[in-house]
Amino acid sequence: MVKITVDGKVFEVDPNNNLLQEILSQQEDLPYFCWHPAMGSVGSCRQCAIIEYANDEDQRGRQVMACMTSPREGGRYSIAAAAKFRAQAIESIMTKHPHDCPVCEEGGECHLQDMTVMSGHTYRRYDGKKVTHTNQYLGPFIGHEMNRCITCYRCVRYYKDYAGGKDFGPQASHNHTYFGRFQEGPLESEFSGNLVEVCPTGVFTDKVFSKHYSRKWDLQTAPSVCAACGVGCNITPGERYGTLRRVVNRFNHEVNGYFICDKGRFGTGYVNSDERIRVAMTRTTRDANPVLTDPAAAKAQLLSLKGKAIGIGSPRASLESNYALRELVGAENFYAGVSDVEFGLLNQVLDIYQNRPVNIANIKDIEDSDAVLILGEDLTNTAARLALAVRQSAKNLAKELAEQAKFPAWHDAAIRQLAMGRKSPVYILAGHATRLDDIAKKVHIASAQDSARIGFAVAHALDASAPAVSGLSEAEQALVDSIAADLKAAKRPLIISGTSSLEPALLNAAANIATALFDGDKKANLALTVPEANSLGLALLMQGSSNTLGKALSSGKKTAIVLENDLYRRAPSAQVDAFIESLDYLAVLDSLQHPTGEAANLVLPAATFAESSGTFVNYEGRAQYFYSVFKPVAPILASCKWLTEGKKTQEITAQIAALLPNGEVLNKLTPGPDFTVAGMRVPRQQHRYSGRTAMRAHINVHEPKQEQDEDGILAYSMEGVPALKDSTVFNTPWAPGWNSNQALFKFETAVGGPLKQATVGEHLIVANASSKSWYAADVQQVSGAGYRVVPLYHLFGSEELTARSEAIQAKATSAYVALNPADAEKLGLGVTDGVQVQHNGSVPVLLRDSILPGSVGISVGLKGLNFQNMSATVELNKANDWQTPKDWRSSNIIVSDKRDI
């Protein structure tokens, strides 16, 4: 730490960071554009100019850019003395900025507006003509309004350098510089949505949000957790006039940092969907039309099933809802609502985390790793945010080189020049080419079983006491040696695997490698992805019980309650049909209509994540509490409220805390239901929230009482202490003069560091094993006639709920199979033909070079094919009378090895 003086104030700052970052960390206001905490400095916008004085006598000083300067011991600086220069710089930036603010989606949360006001430039003196640009169509997510650009280069630095996108860049020169694609078309990156937050002005805007736009101050928000995958990114959804309008990133340095993926950002349209279940319904027989039922009577019916029914839980319902169902039906009648294979894998993940000497890697651990091995996981499609983090880990070699060359770590452009494309080693073993292949040192395409064998061999190469495998080919052995050498040399090695390959041996292999890297002192990083928002929560709640879904379907019980689950996505269709047929009474609680609900005798409208509170447990076993953003329209209720009698959500949380080992951490997630600041609850609405006396006036001019949240803590109101004064429940960043999301630094202990008060979640899993033990290197090879099935996941479309959002549907496609061109030729298939998949109808074919001969990639979760119906191998035939489904859009499948002709 060094001591510096800024305008007479003395600060202790970190000399390894740049001066801008450190001044902001001290909560001082200093304008900037091009610098971003996650992307370092390039010094292109000239906004953070300050005066540096040579010594105490120096009166004149020299102007430096704070973001390109390291603080020096005893340095004396002035922000105020360079104010005139900054005003001039912004005035010249503004000469070509259009007169657009009222019709700009960024208005009111615009970093450019804030900085212009802060620098004191108020009156336009320049009367020359403004430079204009044409816009591009950039797909269904991102709007483009190039006139507003201030050429800070943040978009390119994010999209190309940070997120690894290849279809976007700067064009033209001088004050004509243009940022866009070479040709119009959808942005390919799965992280394009962050451009909206990265761009300091309104060049890139959220197109989905714009369709039902509302200003930032008009959005009712609450701290929430993304329900779209197992990573559990923190988000801030915003509501207006009773509908969910948008989702933005909520900073959590251990889970998602500054960025989220496009599925999380644009995939919440289902909350407003016409397919929502909005009333309680009953059916006397399976085929009868549903009858509208009084909610109270429906609830009484549901509760009367206590002790008589079996309950099927859900990996996408909160811990509270699952627990409430478990209480209602009794633990012995509570079954896991995931496929049997998946349930086995989830228990295995828990076993590895609990009993192996590994460090469960969070996003920071992943970004800091200097050697990564990905075992059988298409990370971009199964846990997208982790893929973005792995991309950052590949840059650690550059950082190391910079350190050797005595370059500061924030010097972004210089470090990239120094590295010249050299990267930290990333190995990918997968069944097909993935979107991370461009940063990989070696991509090895193999079946999950062969990948597992290689994994076991790597563990053996690292530690001779680990079980060995025999029969590796020469190429495989070379790969094993290379991986083992790089992992051994690394200071912070990381193994990533997960459940998506549906191969238990793969998880065992990953565990063995991480165990082998444990040297009795330092644990290796291990991240095992899980499919859904609360997959691990459900597995924890099952407490090692053997109540699999398969057992539920063949239990012989006549009454069942299904919680937020479509069984047709969990088990073979025939098995579910038989189960439903065998039942006398089926009750379903869910938010969207689906085939299971359509066969139910009792259907209850459940709230989505946006309308309910609860706890999700992510891939690390991190429990995170999400708050309801707005009150659902009656009779919609959170599942846990349907299943219990007048209990607050947190009372259920407390019961779970008592049940689970280490469960007491759950009580730390929220400040408690009676929490108030200055006698008031935390407001969900900002202090500028408008229209309170007019928004419901067309229904009745007499204003109703403010909606009450019986769960406490937050209020559906603008009354209360603003977040800045007490950020225990961190909602939306805003600070005086900082209306954009850049206000975040006011809430951080230091830029990029943890938030001052808000929770980062609590680890439910205690990983304190400290002795080595090994899984046997047994790999069950797949046998059987036909093609070996490789599951293909899609960020857009594979997840059940987000796939029902309009924006996601525009980027998704219907079900298909992917084949190696050689196999396709054998079957006589062309790119426009269809394939008959055993007894499951016909789907289009996609030719991919990376699919191994003898294997077939089968899309998971996409419309038109139930993946659960697939066995390990399937027979394929050319479809007769083939007609391409209208939802088939191969252009939405972005893979490098696709053969279009």
Partner 1 sequence: MLKAIGKQLYVLWSQVVTLALVFTHLFKKKDTVEYPDVMPYMFPRWRGRIILTRDPDGEERCVACNLCAVACPVDCIALQKTEDENGRWYPEFFRINFSRCIMCGFCEEACPTHAIQLTPDFEMAEYVRQDMVWEKQHLLISGTGKYHDYNFYKIAGKAIGGKGKGEARNELPPVDRRSLLP
Contacts with partner 1 by CB under 8 A lie at 98-104, 107-108, 127-135, 145, 147-148, 171-174, 176, 178, 180, 210, 212-215, 217-218, 241, 688-695, 697-698, 700-702
Q: Alpha-carbon distance 739 to 373, whole Å?
A: 41
Residue 693 CB, nearest approach to partner 1 (Å) = 4
Which CB, 218 or 800, lies closer to partner 1?
218
Nearer to partner 1, 698 or 705 (CB): 698
For residue 166, count other CB atoms closer than 10 A to its CB. 11
Tell the smallest beta-carbon distance from residue 236 to partner 1 (Å): 19
Q: How far is the CB of 734 from partner 1 (least distance, A)?
A: 14
Q: How far is the CB of 488 from partner 1 (least distance, A)?
A: 49
Q: Which residue has the tokens 């991480």?
A: 514
Considering the complex, what minimum distance in angstroms separates the CB of residue 134 from partner 1? Answer: 5
Q: Are 774 and 515 in contact (CB under 8 A)?
A: yes
Nearer to partner 1, 4 or 219 (CB): 219
Q: Which is nearer to partner 1, 183 or 883 (CB)?
A: 183
Q: Which C-beta is closer to partner 1: that of 151 or that of 529? A: 151
Nearer to partner 1, 178 or 585 (CB): 178
Spatial neighbors of 115 by CB under 8 A, at least 6 apart, are 31, 32, 33, 47, 90, 200
**Beta carbon of residue 706, minimum distance to partner 1 (angstroms, whole number):** 13
CB-CB neighbours of 47 under 10 Å: 27
Q: Between 688 and 839, whose beta carbon lies closer to partner 1?
A: 688
CB of 719 to partner 1, least distance (A): 13
* Phi, psi angles (nearest 5°) of residue 252: -145, 105
Helices (H), 643-754: 649-659
Q: Specify the residue, 216 or 435, whose C-beta has the smaller distance to partner 1.
A: 216
* Nearest distance from C-beta of residue 526 to partner 1, angstroms: 46
Contact between residue 820 and residue 846 where contact means Cβ atoms under 8 Å apart: no
> What are the tokens at 454?
């290689």
**Shortest approach of partner 1 to residue 882 CB, angstroms?**
36
Query: Rounded to an integer, what distance in angstroms lies between the CA atom of residue 532 and that of residue 379?
Result: 14
Where helices occur in 267-308 by DSSP H, the ranges are: 295-303
Of 484, 529, 283, 278, give the one whose Cα is nearest residue 387. 529
What is the CB neighbour count within 10 angstroms for residue 134? 10
At residue 707, the 3 state secondary structure works out as: coil
Q: At what angle do helices 111-119 and 83-94 cross, to 10 degrees?
A: 130
H-run or E-run covering 302: helix 295-303
Of 199 and 415, which CB lies nearer to partner 1 in the complex structure?
A: 199
**Nearest CB to partner 1, comparing residues 10 and 701:** 701
Shortest distance, position 200 Cβ to partner 1, whole Å: 17
Contact between 643 and 729 under an 8 Å Cβ cutoff? The reply is: no
Q: State the DSSP H helix or E strand holding residue 64, giving kind and residue range, or none if neither.
A: strand 62-65
**Considering the complex, what minimum distance in angstroms separates the CB of residue 129 from partner 1?**
5
CB of 277 to partner 1, least distance (A): 26
Nearer to partner 1 among residue 215 and residue 444 (C-beta): 215
Compare residues 147 and 393 and give the one whose CB is closer to partner 1: 147
Spatial separation of the C-alpha atoms in residues 61 and 69, rounded to whole Å? 14
Query: What does the CA dihedral 505, 506, 511, 517 come to, rounded to 10 degrees?
Result: 120
Strand partners, 615: 625
Q: Which is nearer to partner 1, 174 or 886 (CB)?
A: 174
Q: How near is the Cβ of 245 to partner 1 at its closest, in Å?
A: 10
SS (H, E, C) 766-825: CCCCCCCCCCCCCCCCCCCCCEEEEEECCCCCCCCCHHHCHHHHHHCCCCCEEECHHHHH
What residue type is 198 in one-letter code?
V
> What's the closest the beta carbon of residue 460 comes to partner 1, in angstroms?
56
Tell me whether residue 92 or residue 465 sits nearer to partner 1 (CB atom). Answer: 92
Residue 295, phi then psi, degrees to nearest 5: -55, -40
Q: 92 or 896: whose CB is closer to partner 1?
A: 92
- Which segments of 317-415 are extended strands (E)? 334-335, 358-360, 371-375
Q: Report whether 418 contacts 398 (CB < 8 A).
A: yes
Nearer to partner 1, 216 or 631 (CB): 216
Q: What would the 3-class secondary structure string for 65-113 be?
A: EHHHCCCCCCCEEECHHHHHHHHHHHHHHHCCCCCCHHHCCCCCCCHHH
CA-closest candidate to residue 31, choices 93, 123, 106, 101: 93
Tokens of 525: 């990083």
Cα separation, 811 vs 813, in Å, equals: 7
Token pair for 606:
């459940």
Phi/psi at 512 (5° precision): -65, -40
**Least Cβ distance, residue 144 to partner 1 (angstroms):** 12
CB of 694 to partner 1, least distance (A): 4
Residue 142: CB minimum distance to partner 1, A: 15
Measured in whole angstroms, how far is the alpha carbon of residue 639 from the centre of its chain?
Answer: 23
- Closest distance to partner 1 from the beta carbon of 611 (Å): 20
The type of residue at 108 is G
Joined tokens for residue 297: 């009577």
Q: Pick from 145, 141, 168: which is nearest to 157 by CA?
A: 168
Q: Please tell me the distance from the alpha carbon of residue 254 to that of residue 259, in angstroms, as a whole number.
A: 12
Nearer to partner 1, 147 or 321 (CB): 147
Q: Which is nearer to partner 1, 136 or 868 (CB)?
A: 136
The tokens for 386 are 């982790």
